[in-house]
Structure 1
Amino acid sequence: MLARFTLSLGLVLLSGSLATAQVVLPRTLELNAKEMEQNGFIVAQEALQLAQFQQFQDALVRAKLAVQLAPQAHEIWALLGGLYLTVNQPKDAVPALEQSLKLNDKNPGAYFNLGSAHFRLGQYGASVRAIEQGLALKPDATEEWFNLGNAYLKLGQKDRAIEQYRRSLRLDRRFWPAYTNIGLVLYEQGNIRQAAKNWEQAADIDPKASEPKLALATALLQLGNEARALQLAEEALRLDSRYGTVEFQRENLWGDRLVADTQVLLAKPPLRALMSQLQPEQSALPQP
């Protein structure tokens, strides 16, 4: 069939002229629907290429055009939703991803991105439902079991969170973020020694990971090993000083007990001096 496509251009100005050399276009052009869809995929490919070069805003513009040209292409709606997530617009990502899934409900990646969008919006129940639908299609997605655990953790369902983290570890024993977050849960439950063991495993797998090192340092301080705690904390802060701030700890799902105990650790004079050196602009250093 043919789709009728109306261009409201009226006339086009040729380059090099402000008001002359006008070309009058017909008010209505007939374009083949298949050709429009093909053009949509071409524009979507351009969006992908721009995204690869981290030109995300330009990529987003092209993705918006692509879905207009190919509104039945679930892949392009999924691309648009993913780009909205990339530029931290989860509210806009949700309808794009829902449209993609309406056109094709067998795309696990779209479910996973939808779960991520809901999570960023604080809609943790919806995040759980979306991720679980994706995992039903792709059960070997290690990181998504981890993300599911995070959503359960935000819902306060700590045992279910640990269960999901352990599912991710069954798929990949070296997936250190799962060890880290199991430790976060255990610490809040008062199981400091077991939390420390998990953080030690995470740090052994990736020695350049700041988070488990700082968490382990906090646990060691509570267990009476201050010298080792100070050494590990210094290493962690030099790797990523953001973990020295309460805000960043909270963003990474640290609980009240761990945050408070970490402030005690960071109030030690050597670490206060280090934080001042690493983050001289920071005004909210922990008080001794």
Structure 2
Amino acid sequence: MLKRLWLVAFGAWMCVLSTGAPVRSQAVLPLRRDLSQLELEQQGLMLIEDAVQLSRFQQYSWAIPRAKLATQLVPERFEAWYILGTLLVQEQDFDGGIQALNMARRLNARESGVHSILGSAYFQKGEYESALSALNMATRLGDNSIETLFDLGNTQYMLEQYDAAIATYERAIAQDANFWPGINNIGLVQYERGQVDAAIASWQRAAAIDPTAAEPQLAVAVATYTKGDRSRGLELTRQALAIDSRYGEIDFLVENLWGERLIEATSTLFENPTVQALLNDLEQNAFRPEMEP
């Protein structure tokens, strides 16, 4: 599945803030009681810039305190709340992130990136109706990036709005024909609708784009095994799990949005003694690729 690059959605204003200025080394800027309002705003903007720069180096433990202080110094600047919310979501503090992003949205309801990240935060909390509302607003405001469309398609899929999900995935793929996660997820939708052959074709197309992607290969293996070609299905399973053994865990498949019908078929496959032996062997000699930052 696609890993969300949260910081790409900050918007055009970030170009103004991040002009290559060096990151300041102090933990927070010292405050004086006699600062004027203008000076407070200048320091707030400097903290926003610092937070952006630090986030680019994944120094979130340093970036978040700066962003929090910025919201105190310039509470009427939506950028401070936007960055704080984005950083908190990046660190999986979804409640804190949603609270900050809602503040940013109140201050500037026309900034599409706020809605897109807010939608992703709601999605990760499992609040799909709220995610759908935020992501639809993001697209109406002009954020039709692959990332936002992918999040929207996933939300529609989880709400069983299958036609809408496929149409949204196709909008993302239209921007990049090699966007295999979108093609893969069309296969997930098709399988849940009982369109097994169409799902297999989608997963094979995704796997052809990226032969190192274990997910579509395992999905093809499950569908092949379920259709009755067990020997081929077992061989494809071995190949897929050799790429990434995490896909041998049902919980991981659920996290990657595998639906009930596909999970049921996968559970049956995993009960096969040959697969059981394979999973035991992989558990002892597991290769688990590092997660993307």
Give the TM-score taking structure 2 as reference length: 0.81
Deviation at 1:50, TM superposition (A): 2.8
Deviation at 1:29, TM superposition (A): 2.9
Deviation at 1:250, TM superposition (A): 1.0
SS of the counterpart of 2:84? helix
Residue matched to 2:261? 257
Is the CA contact (8 Å cut-off) linking 2:68 and 2:84 kept in structure 1? yes
Q: Which amino acid aligns with 2:74?
A: A
Q: Which amino acid aligns with 2:212?
A: K
Q: Which has the higher strand share?
A: 1
Q: Which amino acid aligns with 2:163?
A: D
Does residue 109 of structure 1 match 2:85?
Answer: no
Does residue 185 of structure 1 match 2:182?
Answer: no
Q: Are the structure 2 counterparts of residues 51 and 139 from structure 1 closer, same or farther at C-alpha, using a change threshold of 3 Å?
A: closer
2:128 aligned to which of 121, 124, 131: 124
CA distance in 1, matches of 2:254, 2:78: 35
Is the CA contact (8 Å cut-off) linking 2:172 and 2:182 kept in structure 1? yes
Residue matched to 2:98? 94
Is the CA contact (8 Å cut-off) linking 1:46 and 1:62 kept in structure 2? yes
Residue matched to 2:48? 44
CA distance in 2, matches of 1:138, 1:174: 23
Deviation at 1:55, TM superposition (A): 2.6
Is the CA contact (8 Å cut-off) linking 1:140 and 1:171 kept in structure 2? no
Give the TM-score taking structure 1 as reference length: 0.82
Residue matched to 1:133? 137
Does residue 32 of structure 1 match 2:36?
Answer: yes
Deviation at 1:72, TM superposition (A): 1.9
- Consecutive unaligned residues of structure 1, counting only runs of 5 or more, are 1-27, 283-288
Q: Are the structure 2 counterparts of residues 266 and 177 from structure 1 closer, same or farther at C-alpha, using a change threshold of 3 Å?
A: same
Residue matched to 2:282? 278
CA distance in 1, matches of 2:281, 2:132: 41
1:222 aligned to which of 215, 222, 226: 226
Q: Which amino acid aligns with 2:169?
A: Y
1:268 aligned to which of 269, 272, 284: 272
CA-to-partner distance for each residue in 1:69-120, whole Å, 9 max, x for gaps?
A: 1212211211100011011011111121111122222222111100011112
1:241 aligned to which of 241, 245, 258: 245
Does residue 175 of structure 1 match 2:182?
Answer: no
CA distance in 2, matches of 1:235, 1:135: 38
Q: Which amino acid aligns with 1:97?
A: L
Q: How does 1:146-165 map to 2 (within 5 A)?
A: 146-165=150-169
- Consecutive unaligned residues of structure 2, counting only runs of 5 or more, are 1-31, 287-293
Residue matched to 1:70? 74
Deviation at 1:281, TM superposition (A): 10
Larger Rg: 1
Is the CA contact (8 Å cut-off) linking 1:149 and 1:161 kept in structure 2? yes
Residue matched to 1:19? none
- Percent identity between matched residues is 40
CA-to-partner distance for each residue in 1:157-190, whole Å, 9 max, x for gaps?
A: 2222222112222222221111111111111221
Does residue 54 of structure 1 match 2:52?
Answer: no
Deviation at 1:139, TM superposition (A): 4.7
CA distance in 2, matches of 1:225, 1:53: 48
SS of the counterpart of 1:31? coil
CA distance in 2, matches of 1:101, 1:177: 29
